[in-house]
Amino acid sequence: MAGKVLIICLLWACVNVCECEPVMFGEVSSPQYPQPYPADILEQWDLEVPQGYQIQLTFSHLDIEPSPNCGHDSIILVSNKKVLGKFCGQNSTDRFHPGHKPIVVSSNHLQLFFLTDDSNPESHIGFTASYQAADPKPLLNGGVRFINGTNNGYHSVIEYYCKEPFYTFVGTPNVRYTCTEDQRWTADDHNDHFPVCTPVCGMNTEVDFGGRVFGGKPARPEQIPWQLLHNVYTRGSASLISDYWALTAASTVDGLENFNMTWLGGIINSKDKNPVTMKAKKIIIHPNYKRVPRGGHQTNFDNDIALIKMSDRVPLGPNIRPVCLPNKTHEPVMEGTMGTVSGFGGFEKGLKSEVLRYGHIHEYSSEQCVFGNAPVTDNMFCAGDDVQHVDSCQGDSGGPLFFPMLGHGTKEQPYEVRGIVSWGPSRCGQVSKGYYTKVQNYLSWIEETMANN
C-alpha cells in the first residue's frame, strides 16, 4: 500500500496537459462497471469544466469493499492537491459521504483516484458518477453577481467583485464573464486568468474619508488598525501585514515559538472586552538572529525580525487592517521627515499604558545614538525626538514605526512599516532615541517566508 501512496504523490506532482476543451458535463465509472472491479489497481481521472464554473460530482452508485478508514479499497477525491474525501462501502454516517448529496467543489478541476488491494472477496462492483459545471464559483474575499440573465443562460453576464474597501483586485484581472451559446463562461477579454482579491494595505479611516511610546498621544479607534498586542507572557506588539501574517521583533517572540501565543487586534485599549483574537499557528524568527535562552539578556539585536502566521484568516474591517511593506530605497528611512511609532508600552514613570499611544519621531545618525554595548549594524536605524521627548519604551517591542507620519497617509502614499521597535537605552525618555529594525533590508526574506509557509 505504501507503493500506491508514493504513486499518488508522484501523480500530484505531475502537470496534466489536456489538448481538448473542458466540457460542461460527463460521466466516470470504475473499471469493468457494472461488473466487479479488478484487484490491485490504481486508476486516476482528471475532471474539468470550463473556467469560472464550479464542478459538481454526483455518485449514482457506490459499492466499494468496506474497511476501517477505507484502508483496503477506496475512491479518493482531490482538489488543488488537497484531499476532500476518501470513501468506501455503500453507506456511511459521515454527513459528507457522497451517497447523501452531490459534492460541489469551488474549483473547475477535480481528481479522482480509485485504489484497490489484492483482494475483493465479495466482488463489489465499484462506482459510477456524473459531473457537471455548476454555478460560477465564489470568490475568496469577494463575490459574484449576475449583471444580465440568470442560471447559466445564453448571454448571461456575471461580474466578480472584492469586499471593498478592505480587499481589491490584483492588477487588472477579468471581472466579467459571458455565458456563450455552448454554455461556457468566457472572460470578456478572452484571458483565462481568474481574478484574485488581495487585502488593501496602509489605509485607515482617515485616509478612506478624507516595545512603546514615551510622551505620545492616545490613538482613536480605526486610526492605527494594523497594531497588534500580546499581553500574556510578556507585553509586546506586532504589525498586521496581510490577512494571515504579522511582523514583529525576534526579541519579542524568542523562546515563545512553542507556546500558544494569542494576539489581540482591532483595539485601542488593552482591556477591551471585544478584541479580534488571533492565535499564532507559526512563529518564524530570522535565521541570523542571535537567540538567547528564555530569561536571558540579549546583547546583539542584529536581524531582530520575525513573522507570525495566524491559524485563521483575520477578518479585516475598519478596526483591523494591514499596513504596507516598504520599497527598497537608498534614501534615509523616513526621507528626512517624521514617521510615527505606536504601542501599549511605558509612557511615563515606568507605567505601562492601557491605551494605544503614538508619537512622531525622526531619524538620527548612529553617531548621535551611542548608548549600551549592543553592536549597531546597517540592519537597524536610530529614531526618536529629543525636543518633544518622544521615544519607544519597554512593552512596545515588536511594534511599528510607520511612514508617512500619522495623519499624512493618502491612497497614493499609504502607510508603510519602515521600522520595528527593537532596542534602546535602559530608561525610556532619558535619551529619547532608540533603534529600530530596518524592514526594507528584509523584503526578500519576508516574501519568501510567507510564500513557503
211-226 pLDDT tens trace: 334 445 788 999 999 9
443 domain-assigned: yes
Backbone conformation region of residue 448, classed left if phi is above 0, alpha if psi is from -120 to 50, else beta = alpha
Burial of residue 365 (CB within 10 Å: 0-12, 13-18, 19+) is exposed
| pLDDT given for residue 184 in this prediction | 67
Query: Rounded CA gap, 241 and 200, in Å?
Result: 10
Which one is predicted more confidently, 99 or 44? 44
| pLDDT given for residue 344 in this prediction | 87
Which one is predicted more confidently, 386 or 232? 232
Model confidence at 391: pLDDT above 60 = no
Model confidence at 39: pLDDT above 80 = yes
11 domain-assigned: no
Q: What percent of the chain has pLDDT over 90?
A: 46
| pLDDT given for residue 54 in this prediction | 84
8 Å CB contact between 379 and 357: no
> Is the CA virtual torsion 75, 80, 82, 85 positive or negative?
negative
Q: What is the CATH number of the domain that holds 37?
A: 2.60.120.290
| pLDDT given for residue 19 in this prediction | 37
Number of domains composing the chain: 3
* Omega cis (within 30) before 318: no
Q: Which of 23-27, 250-254, 279-283, 310-314 has the lowest mean pLDDT?
A: 23-27
What is the DSSP secondary structure assignment for residue 352, as one 8-state letter?
Answer: E
- Angle at 299 (CA atoms; ends 294, 300), nearest 5 degrees: 105
Question: Which three cell numbers mark 427?
Answer: 530608561
* The domain boundary residue, chosen from 199, 217, 237: 199
| pLDDT given for residue 12 in this prediction | 38
166 domain-assigned: yes
| Per-residue pLDDT band at 340 (split at 50, 70, 90) | very high
Which one is predicted more confidently, 367 or 6? 367
- Same structural domain, 129 and 183: no
Query: Rounded CA gap, 240 and 228, in Å?
Result: 7
* The domain boundary residue, chosen from 151, 166, 199: 199
- Same structural domain, 227 and 356: yes
| pLDDT given for residue 445 in this prediction | 98
8 Å CB contact between 162 and 139: yes
φ and ψ of 207, to 5 deg = -70, -45
pLDDT digits (tens, 9 = 90+) for 139-186: 889 888 878 776 656 778 888 889 999 999 877 666 787 877 766 667
| pLDDT given for residue 31 in this prediction | 93
| Residue 404 neighbours by CB under 8 Å, 6+ apart | 337, 339, 413, 415
Give the number of other CB atoms < 10 A from CB of residue 63.
20
120 domain-assigned: yes
pTM for this entry: 0.74
- Same structural domain, 230 and 165: no
8 domain-assigned: no
- What is the span of the domain harbouring residue 219? 205-452
pLDDT digits (tens, 9 = 90+) for 341-389: 998 875 555 556 788 989 899 999 999 998 878 999 999 999 988 765 5
Model confidence at 413: pLDDT above 70 = yes
Model confidence at 239: pLDDT above 50 = yes
